[in-house]
Amino acid sequence: MSGLCLVCWECPNPNISPPWTRHGTPEPTAAAAVTQGDAGALPPPGPSEGDPPSGLSAGEPPQTPRRATVTLLHLVAGDRLEPSEHLENVGLFEHIDEFPKTVMFWRVSLEFSTRHRNPLFSRALGLDPAECLVVDVLHQMYLGVMNVFCHDVLWLLIRALHFGGAGTADEILEVAVMTCRQKLLQWYKTRHAMYPTEELTRVSDLTTSMLSDEDGRKVKTKAAETWGVLLFLLDELHTVKLDIVPDATDLLAAGRALENTICLWDNCEWRLTDKDIQSSYDYLTKFLQLTHRFEHLHTPKRHLCTHLLSNLAQHGNPRMYSTWMDESLNKQIKKCCRELSQTTFDIVLLASVKELFKTCNNLHKRIRLV
């Protein structure tokens, strides 16, 4: 797994430190550095690793207390002064005359898609990312684990010539996609005859470009479409011969475990019983064990399955807080964050979102059964 898990704090990169405590309120560390010191009592900076900050030499006595603070707290060129509860207006930084004083800097070199700290993660609000952030099954399961599983099974069947084909690799792929499309459309009709009240989102077409490539990780289907593709592939695995696809038995059992997990949550209320939680553990654990040897399935979203399970008792049924309907709000919320002044970022952002929600009809989570 690559990147940073905000839940368990596992990070293979030793150069990245957590921007908040594991079980506490957000702390401006890692991406931000806290400066606090008495201007009249700051010791001269000693030698430090790497190049010294611009304008200072290693071991050189500071000319001003502020330079001593920068060196002492290991700030680097490019660190950006951010508004905080201690200094809401960064324009007043040059006029600070009371010490000690706490201010916050943002480490630009460690940022990814986030350009500012989230004002909702605040000590005053009592919000802890490790406790209030939840795993969204739309992205983690349907567009993540389930989609990658479908991709690997599809290519496994294509390589085994389950859908037919002869000639070059491109010719085999073209014939396989045509056959697979024909079988999928027929399967939709059969499925509807068996379950006439089921609301199943269908793939309108299946092309070679939708399969990505053999070394890719995902099928280019939407979240709700992936569920139908999974059910179709499980029926195909049930008919395949073991001498052609030796892993068919394990993949079929793993896929059924994934199917049972989704069906279980679909039929549960918001608060899961102890029996439901245990069944969720059994199904997902079985899926993880049976697919452990398949390297393509080892993704960060697979790792989130463990956190999804561990939070079932506290957060409840994952289907109840998934973003099937509220996904469209993200574009509007993103617009609220654009072109905001750093000096009033928190206040204006929260006010803009509040006004946006007053005129929005999709305020409440609504479940879409697929």
Q: Are residues 206 and 272 in the same domain?
A: yes
Q: 70, 66, 71, 69: which is closest to 46 by C-alpha? A: 71
Q: Are residues 255 and 354 in the same domain?
A: no
The label of the residue with tokens 């200094």 reads: 87
Instruction: Kindly state the tokens that stand for 338.
Output: 């654009």
Q: Are residues 214 and 349 in the same domain?
A: no
Q: Are residues 334 and 198 in the same domain?
A: no
In angstroms, rounded to a whole number, what is the distance separating the alpha carbons of residues 229 and 231?
6
Q: Are residues 211 and 161 in the same domain?
A: yes
In angstroms, rounded to a whole number, what is the distance separating the alpha carbons of residues 321 and 367?
8
Q: Are residues 346 and 314 in the same domain?
A: no
Cβ(325)–Cβ(368) below 8 Å: yes
The contacts of residue 7 (CB under 8 Å, 6+ apart) are 130, 133, 304, 307
What length does the chain have?
Answer: 370
Domain hosting 307: range is: 137-321
Q: Are residues 182 and 264 in the same domain?
A: yes
Cβ(151)–Cβ(140) below 8 Å: no
Q: Are residues 272 and 335 in the same domain?
A: no
The CA-CA-CA angle for residues 296, 224, 307, to 5°, reads 55
At 277 the pLDDT is 96
| Count of structural domains, the chain | 2
In angstroms, rounded to a whole number, what is the distance separating the alpha carbons of residues 201 and 226?
9
The contacts of residue 237 (CB under 8 Å, 6+ apart) are 153, 157, 245, 248, 251, 252, 255
Q: Are residues 365 and 291 in the same domain?
A: no
The stretches of the chain forming alpha helices (DSSP H) are: 65-72, 129-132, 137, 146-159, 169-194, 223-239, 248-266, 274-290, 300-310, 312-315, 329-337, 345-358
In-domain check, residue 252: yes
Strand order in the sheet with 103-106: 32-35, 103-106, 80-82
Adjacent-strand bridge partners of 133:
none
In-domain check, residue 33: no
Q: Are residues 328 and 367 in the same domain?
A: yes
- pTM, two decimals, is 0.68
The label of the residue with tokens 């463990």 reads: 306
In-domain check, residue 41: no
Q: Are residues 226 and 168 in the same domain?
A: yes
In-domain check, residue 236: yes
Q: Are residues 347 and 234 in the same domain?
A: no
At 169 the pLDDT is 86
> Secondary structure of 27-75 in the HEC alphabet?
CCCCCEEEECCCCCCCCCCCCCCCCCCCCCCCCCCCCCHHHHHHHHCCC
Cβ(220)–Cβ(212) below 8 Å: yes
In angstroms, rounded to a whole number, what is the distance separating the alpha carbons of residues 277 and 313?
7
Using a 10 angstrom Cβ sphere, with 0-12 exposed, 13-18 middle and 19 or more buried, the burial of residue 114 is exposed
At 300 the pLDDT is 87
Helix/strand/coil for 167 = coil
In-domain check, residue 6: no
Residue that finishes a domain, picked among 304, 321, 338: 321
pLDDT (tens, 9 = 90+) of the chain, 370 residues, equals 344 454 554 444 443 344 444 433 333 333 333 333 333 333 333 333 334 333 333 344 444 334 434 555 778 888 888 888 788 888 899 899 888 888 888 888 888 777 777 777 776 777 877 777 888 899 999 999 999 999 999 999 998 899 887 888 888 899 999 999 999 999 999 999 999 999 899 998 888 888 877 677 788 999 889 999 999 999 999 988 777 888 899 999 999 999 999 999 999 999 999 999 999 999 999 999 999 998 888 888 998 998 899 889 989 999 988 877 666 677 777 777 777 777 777 778 778 777 776 766 544 444 443 3
At 266 the pLDDT is 93
For 32, phi then psi, to 5°, come to: -130, 150
Residue that finishes a domain, picked among 280, 297, 321: 321
Helix/strand/coil for 145 = helix
Residue that finishes a domain, picked among 321, 346, 361: 321
In angstroms, rounded to a whole number, what is the distance separating the alpha carbons of residues 272 and 266?
11
At 43 the pLDDT is 36
In-domain check, residue 332: yes
In-domain check, residue 204: yes
In angstroms, rounded to a whole number, what is the distance separating the alpha carbons of residues 75 and 47?
14
The CA-CA-CA angle for residues 262, 153, 170, to 5°, reads 140
In angstroms, rounded to a whole number, what is the distance separating the alpha carbons of residues 254 and 284?
9
In-domain check, residue 121: no
Instruction: Kindly state the tokens that stand for 264.
Output: 């279980």
